[in-house]
Amino acid sequence: MDSTLFIDINLYTATALFVVGFVGGMVSGFIGSGGAFVLTPAMMTLGVPGIVAVASNMCHKFPKSLVGAMKRHKYGQVDIKLGLIMGVFAEIGVLIGKHAMTSVKHAFGDVGTNLYVSVVFVIVLAVVGGFVLRDAFRMIKREKEGGDDMPHEVPKLARWVQSIHIPGTMMYFNALKAKVSVLFIVPLGIATGMLAATIAVGGFIGVPAMIYVLGAPALMASATELVIAFVMGMGGTMLYSMDGVVDIRLAMIILAGSLFGIQIGAIGTTYVKDSLVKFVMGLIMIIVLFSRFFYVPGYLSHLGLIDPMRESTIDTLKVFGDVTLVIALAVGGLTIIVALIKGMAAHRRSQEAQGTLGNA
């Protein structure tokens, strides 16, 4: 390693990272993860080498998640025990995921790795994102029909998981209001870590897994994901820091923006219902999924799996892919701000109405 790995930071670089950090933080505070998928490519576009971008991204992620988790813990939304257990197994998943990436790289080179990441992106985001979004629409429809007081419903799969009793492995979790065998949590934690090592956002598996497999409400799952992100982020930062590739200046600029954002995202969750958390998460996953379609033709061309494409065409498609990622983050951020403004206005009206009734 040499010092040239660390770029000079100018006002443009700092402002760009601060803004992306802010919006990413807002999304993280709300759905438990997000932002990381934009930050790494954004840093690389600014000239930061890939390994430093990944390491510095991770170094901003764990303190951000810590602040977010503490904030949402105040609102009673965090299950620390579930988060820590999943976080430990997610750490193992990160190591397995990294090993898988290295194996693919040795066998097929960088282009093969990129194609592998894209395929994982498309499959996971299409299946999980599609499912989450469909569920969000169903919930919103039910809420419209059944009024505002819809209780949390435990999904069928989670009811089955909660009904399985394996002696010596059962543990009670506040988020689930039930006992679950730790043996069910192990693969979910590992899958979360593997996804984090592959596409940088483990929460796209972790949050839906806690909702649909374990039976946690979306608000608690997204808050508990922040504990998992903290554990994974700190472990990852220590590993990368031993290689001297963490640029603490970059990480702290992103953190400066993301701590402003994460407060808004966390506060936003106190004004919305489970369905909106699912909606925002599903929406971001589907938009991010589309970004990959722009990258895949280039990888296939480089691997000789399709007729060769011109480099200028591949570069143009990549720009479209990067813009789509930014759109995903912006749409998520805007949806949260609109929901927060609407929620606060409705809350104020209901308080004024209560005050009027109290005075009458």
The structure tokens listed for 170 are 């059962």
**Exactly one of 84, 150, 170, 182 binds another protein (CB under 8 A); which one?**
150
In whole angstroms, give the CA distance from residue 33 to residue 229.
8
Classify residue 165 by burial, with Cβ atoms within 10 Å: 0-12, 13-18, 19+.
exposed
**Exactly one of 152, 186, 326, 327 binds another protein (CB under 8 A); which one?**
152
Q: Does 20 bind another protein (CB under 8 A)?
A: no
Q: Does 248 bind another protein (CB under 8 A)?
A: yes
- Shortest reach from residue 125's CB to another protein, in Å: 27
Number of H helices, E strands in the chain: 12, 2
Alpha-carbon torsion angle 345, 350, 356, 358, nearest 10: -140
The structure tokens listed for 351 are 């308080």
Nearer to another protein among residue 129 and residue 265 (C-beta)? 265
**Exactly one of 255, 281, 325, 329 binds another protein (CB under 8 A); which one?**
255
Closest CA to 52 of 4, 18, 115: 4
Q: Does 148 bind another protein (CB under 8 A)?
A: yes
Q: Does 98 bind another protein (CB under 8 A)?
A: no
In whole angstroms, give the CA distance from residue 153 to residue 275.
12
Residue in this structure with the two tokens 């982020």, named with its chain if needed: 233
71: alpha, beta or left? (left if phi > 0; alpha if psi -120 to 50) = alpha
In whole angstroms, give the CA distance from residue 294 to residue 58.
26
- Shortest reach from residue 42's CB to another protein, in Å: 19
- 212-231 residues near another protein, rule: CB under 8 A: 217, 219-220
Stretch that binds another protein, among 40-48, 145-153, 199-207, 306-314 (CB under 8 A): 145-153
Enumerate binding residues for another protein (CB under 8 A).
Answer: 1-3, 6, 9, 59-60, 62-64, 66-67, 70-71, 74-77, 148-152, 217, 219-220, 234, 237-238, 241-249, 251-252, 255-256, 259-260, 262-264, 266-267, 270-274, 340, 343-344, 346-347, 350-351
